[in-house]
């Protein structure tokens, strides 16, 4: 809502700078987005009379005027051509400043002196017209300051009106609000007009869709002078309020809308056939609206029509058919209220939001209609010389009446946390337009119909609190009577993130929706889709965090980065097949929160009804050169075992099974198992996948595990140890290349040696030193027991181990 | 070396007597006799006693007697010769020690010092030889000579050690000088990852509220229409739904537009008192320089008997000070939310300029930073979840940790948060 301060001053007295007003309004009422300044900021503008006007001798596009400023003649060079001798013009004097920052000086233009400047409407903040000099038409006296006639500068407050306050979409509401803040009074214009025009009753009014139209009033004003332009004071109000001046009648309706918040429509009465009909649109009904576009309407949209055709999409925009124009002398004025939600939906479906629809969609006060009707009648009569009909057609079957809301003082003090005097609360509410009766400890409040947001006690408490000032609320801390804290899983998440960051990973947060490539790349069949994605490229909900991280790596690559280590902890989403018989129950759950199955079977599980399974995943990615080589350390590049080692660190009891994933290298990927159950995967990216994600040529290794399986900081358990020396023994074993070292280690573990403390693989060799098809695996064993071990004991155990390996894998012991 | 002097004197006395050879011969005979007497030990002891007496009385006579005793006790052929040798040895010891001191003092390297150790204390050193030959000396002389030799050894060892320590220190100094590195070369790189800036702020906020006794509540990101809107007094068709630019999935499912449904779920699952903080990702269909379709929220909810807006204000002030420093102030402005009444916006005074700098980069001269919305829980919400609004009151608040991170870390563009640019993320 744009609030020109000169206008506000007419309704309420206040002595505040614009900045003070912004602050006060922000702290007591609505947020103020900013201040806009128009016209002349400082200095003087006087009425001048053009004595001579002709072309500039040295410039084709310039003119020169001799202007009488009342006892002083000056020469002014101008860019416009419209002044003529005898015309009265606004002349800004040197030393003045315009809102756009220009400061006027005596100057020379193409060799001729120019004293001040003749002003256009834009420079005076009247309209956007900058082609011509404003020619003053009326009782303007030469030499007089122009500000004696109308304000030459304007400051406009841009108020961000909250959706529950449609009353503030009009200047009167703003004035009432400011008066309540300042504890003062405000005044509104008293409408006056003469009747005697052609009767409204020549037309019929039929309201066929009462549910969408609580009130519809129609009044005829005739005998209007045609082709009129609105007077300057109206045009500058409209311009300052951010609208465009159209013609006298439309400007009058808009001006009253800005004043009352009530949109008004005027029809050219001569173009209305017999009746005004308020009805739902016919299916497929077309209407060409004032923006020149033809729109197809549907049955849920309300139209204002005559007997033959639609004239207006109600509350949104008019059609060309019955619009007032240059020739209009006879108008039907519509002042109505419509069902807000319907207007909102119509405006959304048509993609058309107007000053009117924005107001109607908030549900306007039907009782504002009468004042607005009188006001606009008076204004049209005043500026265009029309006469009102003495009759008004009105459809208002169910008049809105004020309602009562009790307000308890102790409740007020409880919610606000400060002491509130009953008299103070009563006065504030009265200033807002309520009637208040005090009964012991209680205020019986009658709320006016323009404050539909004040329905309950809490609503009144808010009003009292904000008007007293929230800065008066004292600060307290509650004594929380519960043990708080994070759950084990929440602490685990924290540790996990800090651990991964400590291990060199960069925490990322990627969007959970992406292109089809995300699923194709991962060979995922079914995903959840957004119905209204920002772009088709971002409609698939992720089933893995990998694609987002791959895109991230590729984007960094395009920035010239040589590689990186990324991780993310986040949700993935999978559709959950819903039994057909649960469809209805699911919808009830989703829309109403109802978990009953709808039959006698009791409640269904909420996660089944929601139809979506969410899982928390931890995903890490090594791409390219993770760390560049330095003078004393080699480069770290993505490799299977680097990433596997991380998984081993995060899931200490994990086991690994080779498993071919379509998006991973078939020979360098494994399922991560925890106690036999699959909890994730680890592997090198398949070159084809790498290519699909723009990472071709880079080594890329990744893992993804269920957050539930991760154990970054396992609970420790004490194990007894002995203060006797441990014995270390190496064993080099030749096996076929296909033999898996992991199986060998498992076999050793299955021996359950009572003295084997640790088995470590310290070398794996394939090459000229061993026969073809064989590999040498070098193992180190550490033995430890309660008593010092003898050579014999250790040798026996090593023999048992190597014997078992020979048996199981055809291993040949090379030395030890 | 008083012992040596003493023995020297004794020998001098002995020598002054006329016929030493004879005397010696006699002594020898005596010794042989004694040996024959099968009790050399007692004889020796007696001789020793005599020697001690002699020392006390007349040295000359005593010496004589001693010599006699010696000659009796010892079976050596020529005790005098042995005595002379011993005498010579003692002198030699003196000389050796002096010698050793001089050479050791002038040794310049540890190797040289080792050579000297071998020379003076080694297997074939004079002192060692002498110690070996002590066995050949008359028993009575052995302690003195032996003691002298041992003291000499110790003395030489001590000076060796002292000099050794000096030389070790010097040589270590030299070695360390040679080992010097260019300390300006970079150190071995350790992995340095980073935490997302929004998560840093979320962690800080969560820590703060956990410290107050709150719990952390979480909920699904794909949410139902009911929990995301209706239960929060935003029924179908309500204009506030339009304001939230919702992403829709299947019918009745949305990507949650705020973490408020977590509050509803919590209230539906437990009785008051409730003190929870709900961090999480939320989604709105909005993308421009200041809006991203995903962003983070931290909401909080407190429901208890007697909670007031004063408690809300005190809590938020303490929170702001935790995140932005003790000097900041909190300001509440009226606002409008469907699920709170009264509703407020919270501003925090600029932690950089405190409103003093009209060109402040952080607050753009406004002096205040918008932190989020809050309010007293609307009675309609309590009714929806089955709490009695007459018995309980509560407050709720919501903040944008992304925007808080922007002001805290001076980040100019929200979009950077979710683009995964390493040049950005590595800074945190």
The pLDDT tens digits for A414-428 are 999 999 999 999 999
Question: Which long-range contacts link A440-443 to residues 24+ away (Cβ below 8 Å)?
Answer: A441/A408, A441/A409, A441/A410, A442/A406, A442/A407, A442/A408, A442/A409, A443/A406, A443/A407, A443/A409
Nearest to B64 by CA among B54, B53, B52: B54
CATH of domain A489-576+611-709: 3.30.930.10
- Averaged pLDDT score across all residues of chain A: 92
Q: Does A591 contact B393 at a Cβ distance shorter than 8 Å?
A: no
Q: Does B255 contact A530 at a Cβ distance shorter than 8 Å?
A: yes
Q: Residue B138 corresponds to which tokens in the numbers above?
A: 């008359």
Give me the mean pLDDT over the B317-342 stretch: 93
Q: Does A415 contact B237 at a Cβ distance shorter than 8 Å?
A: no
pTM: 0.82
Q: List CB contacts (< 8 A) between B191 and chain A.
A: 502-504, 565, 627
Summarize pLDDT for A664-698 with one digit per residue, the tens.
Answer: 999 999 999 999 999 999 999 999 999 999 999 99
pLDDT number for residue B120: 84
Taking 50 as the threshold, does the pLDDT of residue A53 lie above it? yes
CA nearest to A627 within chain B:
B191
Answer with the residue of higher pLDDT: B4 or A85: A85
Confidence of residue B147 (pLDDT cuts 50, 70, 90): confident
Run of H or E including A155: strand A153-160
pLDDT number for residue B56: 58
Taking 80 as the threshold, does the pLDDT of residue B130 lie above it? no
For chains A and B, CB pairs below 8 A equal: 279
Confidence of residue B72 (pLDDT cuts 50, 70, 90): low
Q: Report the residue from A504, A548, A590 with minimal CB separation from B191.
A: A504
Domain ranges of chain A: 2-30+161-182, 40-155, 200-395, 403-468, 489-576+611-709, 727-815
Lowest-pLDDT choice from A389-398, A549-558, B82-91, B336-345? B82-91
Q: Does A610 contact B417 at a Cβ distance shorter than 8 Å?
A: no
The reply to whether A489-576+611-709 shares the fold of A40-155 is: no
Chain A segment 413-432 residues within 8 A of B by beta carbon are: 414-418
pLDDT number for residue B77: 52
A720 touches chain B (CB under 8 A): no
User: Which CATH architecture best describes the domain A40-155?
Assistant: Beta Barrel (2.40)
Query: A468, A590, A607, A635: which to substitute to probe chain B, counting the most B Cβ within 10 Å?
Result: A590
Give me the mean pLDDT over the B286-315 stretch: 94
Q: CB–CB of A700/A625 below 8 Å?
A: no
Distance, in Å, from the CA atom of A443 to the CA atom of A425, rounded to the nearest integer, reads 8
CA nearest to A341 within chain B:
B237
Q: List CB contacts (< 8 A) between A536 and chain B.
A: none
- C-alpha distances in Å from residue A566, one per residue of A517, B198, B414: 20, 16, 20
User: Which CATH architecture best describes the domain A200-395?
Assistant: 3-Layer(bba) Sandwich (3.50)
Q: How far is B175 from chain A (nearest CA, A)?
A: 23
Q: Residue A21 corresponds to which tokens in the numbers above?
A: 């007003």
**DSSP helix, strand, coil percent of chain A (3-state; round to 5):** 30, 30, 40
The angle formed by the CA atoms of residues A116, A121 and A122, to the nearest 5 degrees, is 90
Percentage of chain A modeled with pLDDT above 90: 79
Lowest-pLDDT choice from A247-256, A375-384, A543-552, B122-131? B122-131
Taking 80 as the threshold, does the pLDDT of residue A185 lie above it? yes
Percentage of chain B modeled with pLDDT above 70: 78
- Phi, psi of A434, deg, nearest 5: -85, 155
User: Which CATH architecture best describes the domain B197-425?
Assistant: 2-Layer Sandwich (3.30)
Give me the mean pLDDT over the A233-237 stretch: 93
Distance, in Å, from the CA atom of A183 to the CA atom of A426, rounded to the nearest integer, reads 12
Residue A448: DSSP 8-state: P
A164 touches chain B (CB under 8 A): yes
Q: How far is B176 from chain A (nearest CA, A)?
A: 21
Confidence of residue A811 (pLDDT cuts 50, 70, 90): confident
Chain A segment 194-213 residues within 8 A of B by beta carbon are: none
Q: Does A473 contact B313 at a Cβ distance shorter than 8 Å?
A: yes
pLDDT number for residue B18: 46
CA nearest to A562 within chain B:
B422
Summarize pLDDT for B313-322 with one digit per residue, the tens.
Answer: 999 999 999 9
Taking 90 as the threshold, does the pLDDT of residue A545 lie above it? yes
Taking 70 as the threshold, does the pLDDT of residue A555 lie above it? yes
Distance, in Å, from the CA atom of B262 to the CA atom of B279, rounded to the nearest integer, reads 9
Can you tell me which residue has the tokens 């977590």? B262
In chain B, list all ranges with CATH 3.30.930.10. Answer: 197-425
pLDDT number for residue A353: 92
Run of H or E including A268: strand A264-268
What ipTM does the predicted assembly reach?
0.87
Q: Does B376 contact A458 at a Cβ distance shorter than 8 Å?
A: yes
Give me the mean pLDDT over the A388-408 stretch: 96
A163 touches chain B (CB under 8 A): yes
CA nearest to A29 within chain B:
B334
* Alpha-helical segments (H) within A229-269: 232-240, 248-260
Answer with the residue of higher pLDDT: A524 or B260: B260
The number of beta carbons lying within 10 Å of the beta carbon of residue B25 is: 14
Taking 80 as the threshold, does the pLDDT of residue B419 lie above it? yes
Q: How far is A702 from chain B (nearest CA, A)?
A: 16
Q: List CB contacts (< 8 A) between B304 and chain A.
A: 478, 481
Taking 70 as the threshold, does the pLDDT of residue B1 lie above it? no
Answer with the residue of higher pLDDT: A579 or A24: A24
Q: Does A471 contact B248 at a Cβ distance shorter than 8 Å?
A: no
Q: Which CATH number fits domain A403-468: 3.40.50.720, 3.30.200.20, 3.30.56.10, 2.60.40.3500?
A: 3.30.56.10
Q: Report the residue from B215, B239, B420 with minimal CB separation from A556.
A: B420
Confirm or reject CATH 3.30.70.380 for domain A727-815, answering yes or no: yes
Nearest to A695 by CA among A556, A569, A567: A556
């Amino acid at each position: 809502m744009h609030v020109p301060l000169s206008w506000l001053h007419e309704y309420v007295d206040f002595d505040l700078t614009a900045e003070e007003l912004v602050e006060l309004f922000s702290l007591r009422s609505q947020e103020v987005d900013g201040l806009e300044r128009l016209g002349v900021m400082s200095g003087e503008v006087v009425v001048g009379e053009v004595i001579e006007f002709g072309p500039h001798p040295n410039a084709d596009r310039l003119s020169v005027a001799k202007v009488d400023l009342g006892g002083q003649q000056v020469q002014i060079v101008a860019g416009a051509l419209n002044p003529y001798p005898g015309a009265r013009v606004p002349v800004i004097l040197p030393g003045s400043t315009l809102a756009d920052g220009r400061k006027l000086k005596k100057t020379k233009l193409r060799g001729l002196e120019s004293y001040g400047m003749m002003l256009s409407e834009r420079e005076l903040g009247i309209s956007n017209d900058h082609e011509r000099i404003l020619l003053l038409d009326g009782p303007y006296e030469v030499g007089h300051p122009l500000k004696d006639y109308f304000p030459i500068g304007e400051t406009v407050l841009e108020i961000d009106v909250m959706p529950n306050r449609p009353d503030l979409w009009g200047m009167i509401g703003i004035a009432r609000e400011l008066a309540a803040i300042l504890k003062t009074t405000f005044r509104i214009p008293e409408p006056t007009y003469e009747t005697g025009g052609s009767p409204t009753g020549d037309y019929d009014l039929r309201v066929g869709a009462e549910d969408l139209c609580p009130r519809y009033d129609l009044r005829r004003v005739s005998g209007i002078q045609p082709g009129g332009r609105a007077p300057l004071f109206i045009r500058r109000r409209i311009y300052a309020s951010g609208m465009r001046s159209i013609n006298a009648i439309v400007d009058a309706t808009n001006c009253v809308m800005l004043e009352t918040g009530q949109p008004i429509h005027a029809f050219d009465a001569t173009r209305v056939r017999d009746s005004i009909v308020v009805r739902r649109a016919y299916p497929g009904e077309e209407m060409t609206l004032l923006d020149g576009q033809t729109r197809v309407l549907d049955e849920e949209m309300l139209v204002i029509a005559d007997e033959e055709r639609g004239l207006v999409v109600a509350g949104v925009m008019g059609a060309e058919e019955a619009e007032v124009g240059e020739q209009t002398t006879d108008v039907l004025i519509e002042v109505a209220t419509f069902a807000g939600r319907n207007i909102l939906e119509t405006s959304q479906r048509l993609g058309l939001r107007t000053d009117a629809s924005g107001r109607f969609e908030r549900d306007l006060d039907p009782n504002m209609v009468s004042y607005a009707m009188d006001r606009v009648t008076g204004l049209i009569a005043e500026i265009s010389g029309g006469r009102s009909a003495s009759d008004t057609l009105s459809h208002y079957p169910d008049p809105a009446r004020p309602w009562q809301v009790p307000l308890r003082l102790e409740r007020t003090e409880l919610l606000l946390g400060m002491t509130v005097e009953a008299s103070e609360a009563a006065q504030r509410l009265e200033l807002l337009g309520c009637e208040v009766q005090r009964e012991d400890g209680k205020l019986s409040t009658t709320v006016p119909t323009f404050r539909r947001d004040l329905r309950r006690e809490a609503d009144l408490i808010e009003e009292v609190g904000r008007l007293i000032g929230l800065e008066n609320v004292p600060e307290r801390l509650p004594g929380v009577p519960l043990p708080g804290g994070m759950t084990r899983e929440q602490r685990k998440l924290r540790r996990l993130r800090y651990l991964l960051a400590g291990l060199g990973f960069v925490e990322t947060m990627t969007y959970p929706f992406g292109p089809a490539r995300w699923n194709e790349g991962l060979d995922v069949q079914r995903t959840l889709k957004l119905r209204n994605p920002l772009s088709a490229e971002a409609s698939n909900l992720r089933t893995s965090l990998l694609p987002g991280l791959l895109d991230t790596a590729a984007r960094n690559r395009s920035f010239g980065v040589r590689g990186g280590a990324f991780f993310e902890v986040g949700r993935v989403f999978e559709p959950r097949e819903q039994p057909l018989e649960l469809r209805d129950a699911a919808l009830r759950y989703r829309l109403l929160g109802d978990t009953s199955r709808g039959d006698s079977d009791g409640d269904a599980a909420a996660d089944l009804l929601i139809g979506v399974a969410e899982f928390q995943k931890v995903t890490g990615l090594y791409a390219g050169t993770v760390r560049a080589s330095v003078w004393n350390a080699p480069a770290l590049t993505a490799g299977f075992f680097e990433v596997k080692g991380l998984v081993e660190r995060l899931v200490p009891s994990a086991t690994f099974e080779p498993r071919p994933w379509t998006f991973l290298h078939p020979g360098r990927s494994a399922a991560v198992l925890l106690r036999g159950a699959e909890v994730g995967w680890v592997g090198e990216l398949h070159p084809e996948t790498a290519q699909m994600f723009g990472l071709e040529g880079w080594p890329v290794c990744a893992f993804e595990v269920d957050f539930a399986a991760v154990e970054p900081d396992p609970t420790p358990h004490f194990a007894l140890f002995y203060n006797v020396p441990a014995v270390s023994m190496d064993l080099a074993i030749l096996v076929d290349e296909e033999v898996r070292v992991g199986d060998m280690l498992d076999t050793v573990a299955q021996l359950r040696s009572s003295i084997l403390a640790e088995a470590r693989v310290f070398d794996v060799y394939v090459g000229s030193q061993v026969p073809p098809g064989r590999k040498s695996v070098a193992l180190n064993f550490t033995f430890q027991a309660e008593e010092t071990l003898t050579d014999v004991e250790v040798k026996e155990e090593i023999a048992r181990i190597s014997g078992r390996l020979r048996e199981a894998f055809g291993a040949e012991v090379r030395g030890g | 070396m008083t012992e040596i002097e003493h023995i020297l004197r004794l020998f001098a006395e002995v020598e002054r007597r006329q016929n030493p050879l004879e005397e010696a011969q006699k002594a020898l005979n005596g010794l042989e006799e004694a040996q024959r007497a099968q009790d050399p030990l007692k004889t020796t002891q007696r001789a020793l006693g005599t020697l001690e007496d002699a020392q006390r009385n007349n040295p000359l006579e005593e010496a004589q007697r001693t010599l006699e005793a010696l000659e009796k006790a010892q079976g050596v052929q020529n005790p005098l010769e042995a005595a002379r040798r011993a005498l010579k040895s003692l002198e030699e010891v003196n000389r050796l020690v002096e010698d050793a001191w001089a050479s050791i003092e002038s040794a310049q390297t540890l190797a040289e010092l080792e050579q000297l150790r071998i020379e003076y204390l080694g297997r074939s050193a004079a002192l060692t030889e002498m110690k070996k030959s002590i066995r050949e000396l008359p028993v009575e002389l052995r302690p003195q000579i032996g003691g002298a030799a041992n003291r000499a050894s110790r003395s030489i060892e001590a000076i060796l050690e002292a000099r050794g320590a000096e030389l070790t220190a010097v040589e270590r100094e030299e070695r360390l000088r040679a080992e010097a590195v260019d300390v300006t070369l970079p150190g071995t790189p350790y992995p340095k990852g980073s935490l997302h800036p929004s998560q840093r702020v979320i962690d800080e906020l969560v820590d703060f509220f956990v410290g107050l006794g709150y719990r952390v509540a979480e909920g699904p990101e794909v949410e139902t229409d009911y929990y995301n809107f209706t239960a929060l007094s935003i029924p179908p068709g309500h204009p506030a739904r339009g304001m939230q630019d919702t992403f829709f999935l299947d019918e009745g499912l949305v990507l949650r537009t705020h973490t408020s449904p977590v509050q509803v779920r919590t209230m539906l699952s437990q009785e008051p008192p409730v003190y929870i903080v709900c961090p999480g990702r939320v989604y709105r269909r909005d993308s421009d320089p200041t809006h991203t379709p995903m962003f983070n929220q931290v909401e909080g909810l407190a429901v208890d008997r007697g909670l007031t807006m004063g408690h809300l204000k005190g809590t938020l002030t303490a929170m702001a000070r935790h995140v932005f420093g003790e000097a900041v102030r909190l300001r509440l402005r009226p606002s409008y939310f469907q699920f709170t009444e009264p509703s407020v916006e919270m501003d925090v005074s600029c932690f950089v300029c405190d409103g003093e700098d009209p060109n402040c980069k952080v607050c753009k001269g406004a002096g205040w930073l918008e932190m989020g919305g809050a309010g007293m829980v609307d009675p309609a919400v309590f009714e929806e979840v089955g709490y009695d609004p007459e018995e309980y009151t509560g407050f709720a608040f919501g903040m944008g940790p992304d925007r808080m991170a922007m002001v805290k870390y001076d980040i100019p563009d929200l979009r950077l948060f979710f683009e995964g640019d390493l040049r950005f993320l590595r800074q945190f």
